Amino acid sequence: EVQLVESGGGLVQPGGSLRLSCAASGFTFSSYWMSWVRQAPGKGLEWVANIKQDESEKYYADSVKGRFTISRDNAKNSLYLQMNSLRAEDTAVYYCARLHATNAFDIWGQGTTVTVSS
Amino acid sequence: DIQMTQSPSTLSASAGDRVTITCRASQSIRSWLAWYQQKPGKAPKLLIYKASSLESGVPSRFSGSGSGTEFTLTISCLQPDDFGTYYCQQYNSYSSITFGQGTRLEIK
């Protein structure tokens, strides 16, 4: 079964850090671009970051540039998001998603919740 | 950044109705548009990619059309299970991906 499972969410104070993980299974992880997409409470979807198969290209939304870092470990079939200098507006459910060659997100994880609050 | 504008924001329809949701891009995205359905507390589900291609396993009552800046998602015969929020998503480059604000579909 093709699956993405996120972990690492939680409650963190403003200015703090958190590292999210996403474990992939059921497909050749190293063959796909991967992404993080988030959704603030009661709001719409926001693309956060993309990473190429070999990590040679990484892209970020302006809202997280310079604070978040996307990475991957193809040997472990895992995707990561290091989040630093967290702000209240980063509070959201964070989804790991596979970016298909059709430029659509065809596989999504169940999401992990990040709450930034004092 | 490319802005995506969906309309309407909320839609109420009855089972059996034909429903259309529109998504407009602030500049041409050729056919790089996808549609998703999201139910409360769940991850989005891909319905349509490349503007008009139906994702595997998605019922044929869902269809997409358009190119350039104007796109539509049509549900030909609304079913009770089609409630939820629908999002369009554009791809202009790997550094420029945006979603519409969503259309909430309620079944009367």
Are A57 and B50 an interchain contact pair (Cβ–Cβ within 8 Å)?
no
Q: How deeply is A62 buried, as exposed, middle or buried, from its count of CB atoms within 10 A (0-12, 13-18, 19+)?
A: exposed
**A15 CA to chain B: closest CA distance, Å?**
26
Residue range A1-31, pLDDT digits in tens: 999 999 999 999 999 999 999 999 999 999 9
Contacting residues of A for B102, CB less than 8 Å apart: 44-45
What's chain B's length in residues? 108
3 state SS of A90: helix
Q: Answer yes or no: are the C-beta atoms of A52 and A72 closer than 8 Å.
A: no
Residue range B54-85, pLDDT digits in tens: 999 999 999 999 999 999 999 999 999 999 99
Print burial letters for A43-57: b (CB count within 10 Å at least 16), e (below 16).
ebbbbbbbbeeeeee
Q: What is the pLDDT of residue A28?
A: 98
Contacting residues of A for B36, CB less than 8 Å apart: 45, 105
Residue range A68-118, pLDDT digits in tens: 999 999 999 999 999 999 999 999 999 999 999 999 999 999 999 999 999
Contacting residues of A for B101, CB less than 8 Å apart: 44
